[in-house]
Amino acid sequence: MKSRQLTANLTQLTKLGFVNAYLVLEEDGLTLVDTAMNAAGELIDAAAALGQPIRRIALTHGHGDHVGSLDQLCRRLDRAAVTVLMPAIDQRILSGEATDIPGRKRGSWPKLETKADVLLEPGDIVGSLEVVACPGHTPGQLAFLDRRDRSLITGDAFTAMGRLEVPSHGTPRFPLAAFATWDRAQALDSATQLRALEPTLLAVGHGHATSAPVADMDAAIARARRAA
Ligand SMILES: [Zn+2]
């Protein structure tokens, strides 16, 4: 796993060159945001390299490339010392309960043995992170805004394989994100909401992080509107 320190508090971990997880430094240790897949050992090693325990695992959405190491991690870590936080709506889909959500659930929704300790709702606070709604890619997709410096971890509400894009339309470099998107109109709305937060750094589920991202977000939203 490739590790890249983005800010004093934020480390990006990249598996197989295309899927990101993040370690967020807090006073009591680390919040791991997303888990990639088959990466438990590498994630644990990355936390050890920072000399801090993983206290929380917070998921942006329920797709397999983001929750895929969760069970492995929970087997290898002291489960009682780690809080698992999952978007409430995506937890219902993962557990097979969410029959009232319209439309086809796209993308991979693996069976997990791990039960979340906390079902996240927009407005919740996780350490320094504020939970922000950005449904569309999945029904329950969430982003995490670090209130210390306004860096924003978006999961797949934006991608940046080559350049920043909204997953509401297919792009040749990374068609997967749009294929896996549940509601394209909502994904575009959510991108606009995230832009309005005026983040200082955008840390996405797939691709590079973007500093001072607002102009690039505007351009991505404009392309998405033209494609809609
Ligand atoms: Zn996804």
Ligand 1 centre to CA of 66 (Å) is 7
Ligand 1 centre to CA of 211 (Å) is 22
Q: Which amino acid appears at position 153 of this protein? A: I
Distance CA 21, CA 215 (A): 24
Ligand 1 centre to CA of 117 (Å) is 22
Distance CA 142, CA 62 (A): 10
Ligand 1 centre to CA of 91 (Å) is 14
Ligand 1 centre to CA of 35 (Å) is 12
pTM for the whole structure: 0.97
Distance CA 159, CA 8 (A): 23
**CATH, range 2-227:** 3.60.15.10
Give pLDDT tens digits along the chain (228 positions): 999 999 999 999 999 999 999 999 999 999 999 999 999 999 999 999 999 999 999 999 999 999 999 999 999 999 999 999 999 999 999 999 888 889 888 999 999 999 999 999 999 999 999 999 999 999 999 999 999 999 999 999 999 999 999 999 888 888 888 889 999 999 999 999 999 999 999 999 999 999 999 999 999 999 999 998
Distance CA 122, CA 141 (A): 10
Distance CA 137, CA 158 (A): 9
Pairing mode, strands 129-133 and 142-146: antiparallel
Ligand 1 centre to CA of 138 (Å) is 7
